[in-house]
Amino acid sequence: MGTQRSVLKLRDAGMVVDDAPQLQVYRPISGQRIADVVSNFIAHPPLKLRKSSIAKYRNALSSFTVNILAAVAEHEASMISARTKAALAAAKARGVVSGGQRGSLDRMWPVARKGNAASAAVRRAAAAKRNEDLLPVIADIRGAGRTSPRQIADSLNDRGISAARGGAWSSVQVRRVLANSRRRQVLVK
């Protein structure tokens, strides 16, 4: 993204030919030195520079300067690699287990099922508690003569009571609350 922006700035300054191809990202292949990639970049530039621009920046972009910068980049990459390897070795010495899967999938399925069942039970209990808290409000709305699910939903919205996920009530949601209350043997009159 930043490189593309730089190309656009060069184009706006009149240094790049308008029909220049898209800029490619040059990355070293396995075992290839960064200096070789940079040399290839210099030999086959992805931008077509105007002749006046080439003369202006020839000294600044000499192959000597670019090779020094490539060597520094290569050294920095090797330092990053060494730091990462040292940090992983230190973590391993502390007993930290790296990697993803910690056991066979056959062993993990029962644990996952147990966790899913516990999660579902907690969510069911929270939904039942919310329904029980709503039943007196729905009974009050019905007592005021608004008995259809659509009318009850509108009344709940007018009172500022949000639905389970924070949105507005619909008639389908009211029907579900009433059906769940009947299933739990709680009659709403």
* pLDDT tens digit sequence for 106-132: 778 888 889 999 999 999 999 889 988
**Cα–Cα distance between 7 and 1 in angstroms, integer?**
10
Q: Is the CB of residue 49 less than 8 Å from the CB of residue 15? A: yes
Indicate the angle between helix axes 63-94 and 34-43, nearest 10 degrees: 150
Helix, strand, coil shares of the chain, percent, nearest 5, are: 65, 0, 35
pTM over 0.75: no
Q: Each residue of 143-180: pLDDT tens digit?
A: 999 999 999 999 999 999 999 888 999 999 999 999 88
In this model, does residue 103 exceed pLDDT 80? no
Higher-confidence position of 86 and 100: 86
What is the per-residue pLDDT for 59?
55
Q: How far apart are CA 173 and CA 138, in angstroms?
A: 12
pLDDT reported for residue 78: 86
- Compute the distance between CA of residue 50 and CA of residue 54 in angstroms, rounded to an integer: 6
Spatial contact of 34 and 73, defined as CB atoms under 8 Å apart: yes
The DSSP symbol for 188 reads: -
According to the model, what pLDDT value does residue 94 have? Answer: 94
pLDDT mean across residues, the chain: 76
Determine the Cα–Cα distance for residues 139 and 161; give it in Å rounded to an integer: 15
Q: pLDDT by residue (tens digit) across 3-40?
A: 555 555 555 554 444 444 444 444 555 556 656 665 66
